[in-house]
Amino acid sequence: MLLTSTTRTGRELISEQLFDQLTARIARDHPDLDSDLPPRILDQALAFLGACALTIEPIGPSELVDIGWHTFILHTRDYADFCHRIAGRFIHHQPEPTSDDPQPSSPEPIGAPIARTVSAITAAGFALDQVLWGGTAAECGTKCSQCHAGCTDSPTR
């Protein structure tokens, strides 16, 4: 289900050939996914990156959308060209810390709230696939305060 009044999609940001190539890679690397998910995941990863180009607040992907970002990053030349074209800079991927990582001295929570990411994507004019962001936009805004890593109050758990 899409929640938006715009017609802009993430897939519009790259060529159809590259979109098909990356979607096939997601399907191959994640055979457990339903067959309709790989193109949806990639579309939302591209919308997320499009929002990254425009927002100054830290934002982060959902667990499913991160699959699309990881897949795109593996195509380093295409990814770097894309970043420079849409953002004028390279969009780095900073993974969430694991329990083995040293803990930061700052008391601020790690990760960006999904609600902030959802807002940034819609503000950038992209269609939002609610299911890939953990439920409805309203749930993300009221129930979930962290990204997928370490989230304890996710509406999908």
Average pLDDT, the chain: 82
**Which residues make Cβ contacts (< 8 Å) with residue 114, sequence separation at least 6?**
60, 62, 133, 134, 140, 144, 146, 147, 148
Question: What's the rounded Cα separation, in Å, for the pair 130 and 96?
Answer: 22
3-state secondary structure at position 99: coil
The answer to whether the CB of 46 falls within 8 A of the CB of 40 is no
Cα torsion 47, 53, 56, 59 to 10°: value is 30
Alpha helices in 6-136 (DSSP H): 16-29, 37-52, 63-73, 76-86, 114-123
Q: Which amino acid appears at position 131 of this protein?
A: V
**For the residues 118-123, what does the mean pLDDT come to?**
95
Nearest 5 degrees, angle CA 62-CA 146-CA 121? 50
- 95 band by pLDDT with thresholds 50, 70 and 90: confident
**For the residues 31-46, what does the mean pLDDT come to?**
98
Query: Which of 4-8, 15-19, 152-156 comes out lowest in average pLDDT?
Result: 152-156
For the cut 60, the answer to whether the pLDDT of residue 149 exceeds it is no
**For the residues 33-56, what does the mean pLDDT come to?**
97
Max mean pLDDT among 19-28, 109-118, 144-153 falls in 19-28
For the cut 90, the answer to whether the pLDDT of residue 120 exceeds it is yes
- 139 band by pLDDT with thresholds 50, 70 and 90: very low
